C-alpha cells in the first residue's frame, strides 16, 4: 500500500506560457512521491491524475500495481483538478466560458517538475488511466526521445466523436443550471451536479455491472441510492469551474493536433503522430469501457510501433482501469507493467 509518509508537495512554475499563447500566472503543480529515487535516477515512474481525481483517490495503485520498493512513483495532479493550477485557484478563469489549457501544458509542466526537482529527463515509465493515459500518449508523441515506456490504461490518444458526445452532455448538464451566467457560476449548480452525476454513473459503469447488481454488492439499496451517495459527492466536492476546465482539456485531447500535424485527413494525421512514438508501449482497454472501447484502443495501438495491446476482462466498465477493490484486474495491470519493464 502507499507509504503513509507521502505528503503533498508543490512546484512553483512562475508565469507559465501556455501552448495556446495565454499565460497561466503563478502556475504550480501539486505532486506526491512514493518510494526512493535510485542513485542513477533510473527508476522514476510518472503517474498523472485522471478526471476529477485527487491523489488520495488514486494513490492506492502504489503497491498493488506500482511497487514502491522498485519504483520512485511521482503522482502529479493535472492542471484543472483543483490541486495544481485550476480556475478555482486563480486566473485565467473560464474566458468565454472555456479554459485555455490542454495536455501540451501538462507535459511542459511535468517535464519541468522531473528536471528541476528530480534531475530526471527521461522517466522509466509513464503510467496513466483515463485522462492520465491521455497525458502519457502526449508525452510519447511530443517528447519521443525522452519517453522510454508508456502504459496507457483505458484512455485514448484522441477523443473520439462518441466520447465527445458524452463530454458535451456533462458540460451541458452543468452550464444549463441557473447558477451559470455564461462565464462563471454564481452559486452551487445543484441541479446541474445531480444531472452530471447521473450521466457519469450511466457511462462509467457497464451494463453487466448493473445487471448483476454490483451496486448492491457495494452496499447501495438501489441505483438511485448509488448515484446519490457515491457519485454525487464525488463531484459536488469539486469547484464546478474545475469540472468544466478538465472537460475542456479532455475535449481537446488529440496528439496529432498537439504535434502540429494537420493534413486534412484526421486518421492519417493520428497515424503519423502515433508513428512517432519510440517508447515501449502497452495499451490496455476495458472489455466493457463505454468511453474508450476495446475497438478504439486497439485501432490506436496498431498505429504505435511495437505496441502491446490487451483487454481487461472485467464488467467494471471504465473503472476496470482503476480497480481499487478488484484483485484480478489489479494482478493483470501489475503483470502488464512488469512485462513492459523487463527490458
CA-based diameter of the chain, in Å? 55
Name the strand (E) or helix (H) holding 328: helix 327-340
- Looking at 122-188, list the stretches that DSSP marks H as alpha helix, in order from N- to C-terminal side: 131-142, 161-175
If DSSP codes are grouped into helix, strand and coil, which group holds residue 64? coil
CA proximity to 177, closest of 164, 196, 163, 200: 196
What does the alpha-carbon distance between residue 312 and residue 290 come to, in Å, rounded to a whole number?
13
If DSSP codes are grouped into helix, strand and coil, which group holds residue 126? strand
Q: How far is CA 284 from the centre of its chain?
A: 14
Sign (positive or negative) of CA dihedral 247, 61, 134, 211: negative
Here the cell at position 225 is 441510492
**Which residues does the annotation mark as catalytic?**
130, 289, 318
Name the strand (E) or helix (H) holding 76: strand 72-76
Sign (positive or negative) of CA dihedral 75, 188, 236, 171: negative
DSSP code for 205: S
Amino acid at each position: 500500500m502507499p507509504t503513509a509518509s507521502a505528503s503533498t508537495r508543490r512546484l512553483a512554475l512562475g508565469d507559465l506560457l501556455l501552448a495556446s499563447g495565454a499565460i497561466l500566472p503563478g502556475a504550480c503543480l501539486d505532486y506526491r512521491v512514493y518510494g526512493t529515487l535510485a542513485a542513477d535516477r533510473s527508476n522514476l515512474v510518472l503517474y498523472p491524475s485522471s478526471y476529477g481525481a485527487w491523489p488520495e483517490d488514486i494513490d492506492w495503485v502504489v503497491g498493488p500495481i506500482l511497487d514502491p520498493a522498485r519504483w520512485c512513483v511521482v503522482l502529479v495532479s493535472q492542471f484543472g483538478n483543483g490541486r495544481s493550477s485550476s480556475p478555482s485557484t486563480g486566473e485565467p478563469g473560464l474566458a468565454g466560458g472555456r479554459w485555455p489549457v490542454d495536455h501540451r501544458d501538462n507535459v511542459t509542466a511535468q517535464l519541468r517538475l522531473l528536471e528541476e526537482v528530480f534531475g530526471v529527463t527521461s522517466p522509466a515509465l509513464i503510467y496513466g488511466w483515463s485522462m492520465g493515459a491521455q497525458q502519457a500518449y502526449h508525452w510519447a508523441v511530443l517528447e519521443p526521445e525522452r519517453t522510454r515506456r508508456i502504459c496507457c490504461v483505458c484512455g485514448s490518444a484522441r477523443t473520439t466523436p462518441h466520447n465527445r458526445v458524452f463530454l458535451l452532455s456533462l458540460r451541458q448538464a452543468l452550464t444549463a443550471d441557473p447558477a451559470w451566467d455564461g462565464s462563471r457560476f454564481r452559486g452551487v449548480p445543484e441541479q446541474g451536479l445531480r444531472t452530471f452525476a447521473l450521466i457519469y454513473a450511466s457511462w462509467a459503469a457497464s451494463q453487466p455491472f448493473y445487471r448483476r447488481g454490483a451496486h448492491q454488492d457495494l452496499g447501495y439499496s438501489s441505483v438511485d441510492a448509488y448515484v446519490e451517495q457515491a457519485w454525487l459527492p464525488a463531484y459536488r466536492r469539486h469547484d464546478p469551474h474545475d469540472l468544466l476546465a478538465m472537460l475542456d482539456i479532455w475535449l481537446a485531447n488529440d496528439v496529432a493536433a498537439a504535434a502540429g500535424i494537420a493534413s486534412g485527413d484526421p486518421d492519417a494525421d493520428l497515424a503519423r503522430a502515433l508513428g512517432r512514438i519510440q517508447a515501449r508501449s502497452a495499451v490496455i482497454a476495458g472489455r466493457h469501457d463505454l468511453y474508450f472501447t476495446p475497438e478504439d484502443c486497439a485501432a490506436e495501438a496498431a498505429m504505435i510501433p511495437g505496441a502491446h495491446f490487451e483487454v481487461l476482462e472485467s464488467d467494471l466498465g471504465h473503472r476496470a482501469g482503476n480497480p481499487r477493490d478488484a484483485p484480478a484486474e489489479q494482478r493483470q495491470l501489475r503483470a502488464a507493467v512488469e512485462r513492459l519493464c523487463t527490458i
